[in-house]
Amino acid sequence: MDKGSWSIIVHGGAKAISPSDAEAHRQGCARAAERGAEILARGGSAVDAARRAVAMLEDDPTFNAGHGSVANAAGDIEMDAGIMDGATLAIGAVAAVVRIHNPIDAAAAMLGEPPILLVGKGAERFAYKKGLRCTPPTGASTPPEKPGHDTVGCVARDRAGHIAAATSTGGIAGTLPGRVGDAPLPGCGFYADDKVGGVSLSGDGEAIARTLLGARIVRAMEDRRAALAAQDIHEPMQRLGAEAGVIAIDAAGRIGAAHNSENFAVAFGSSEKPVIISAIHQDEWKAVLPHD
């Protein structure tokens, strides 16, 4: 891609999507990608585009992040989020937070701070001091019987060639209180490095962390374009009998995505093809993002 080009991809979680929910997933992802694309098209930063796209997905009850998060075994919601600036390798993340309306905003506020990850009350106090909205997302607590899991995320590359990755989740329904998955862990649920590329993942958090899945895909982008590198989720997830989905953008701005879950809602666009494409299965985007 030329200098000055931009690209963006968002996801709404690796999971099964029923036909009646398909449209909400397509539209929710498309709206978030459009928001990020607007920022990138007018010269905004990848960090800003990724943060705002993920905040929109957090505000959409269709997705398990922010407003719409699933409940743990105690019937409470606990949210995790992480963001990385590929230009500086700055990382901001929060975990097991209850009283932060948009966890991704708290994670982004951490980017200039020495620690990379704050949990629980410490993270909530930090968000409060930063003037962020510190109420639980309205109606966030959904019944524990809400099935499965998912997560939202975004990878963006701006006109200056900087890459950012962001991930936010309500975790997996019915897990132990205090459980933290891959989403706020760099190299697991997200990672970005301008020199190589960026990723955001969703799926079985423990399996993603055990296999350092995010780091593997980033490593694969050292030699291969994003769409090919993304295929590297399959072998480790097959080994552990786990599910995952990944979105990726490489250093040249090329977009990739892969999943072994039943569905994976994504939306993407670039300065070359600014019309946002949204899809809920890789068969739909194979023609545009060829991976073989």
- Strands 90-97 and 117-119, by their bridges, are parallel
Q: Which long-range contacts (CB under 8 A, 24 or more apart) does 205-208 make?
A: 205/149, 205/169, 205/171, 205/172, 205/180, 205/181, 206/181, 206/182, 206/242, 207/236, 207/237, 207/240, 207/242, 207/243, 207/244, 208/181, 208/182, 208/242, 208/244
Structure tokens at 246: 């990944």
Report in angstroms how near the CB of residue 203 gets to ligand ASP at its nearest: 5
Report if residue 150 touches ligand ASP, rule: CB under 6 A: yes
- Under rule CB under 6 A, which residues in 187-246 are in contact with ligand ASP? 202-203, 205
For 61, other C-beta atoms within 10 Å of its C-beta total 17
Report in angstroms how near the CB of residue 21 gets to ligand ASP at its nearest: 15
Report if residue 172 touches ligand ASP, rule: CB under 6 A: yes
Among residues 276, 175, 266, the alpha carbon closest in space to that of 227 is found at 266
- Under rule CB under 6 A, which residues in 10-29 are in contact with ligand ASP? 13
Structure tokens at 194: 């301008």
Which residue, judged by CB position, is nearest to ligand ASP in the bound state?
205
Residue closer to ligand ASP (CB basis): 79 or 228? 79
* Annotated active-site residue in 151, 167, 169, 211: 151
Report in angstroms how near the CB of residue 292 gets to ligand ASP at its nearest: 26
Residue closer to ligand ASP (CB basis): 188 or 227? 188
Can 151 be counted among the known catalytic residues? yes
Report in angstroms how near the CB of residue 213 gets to ligand ASP at its nearest: 10
Catalytic residue annotation: 151
Residues forming contacts to ligand ASP in the complex (CB under 6 A) are 13, 149-151, 169, 171-172, 181-183, 202-203, 205
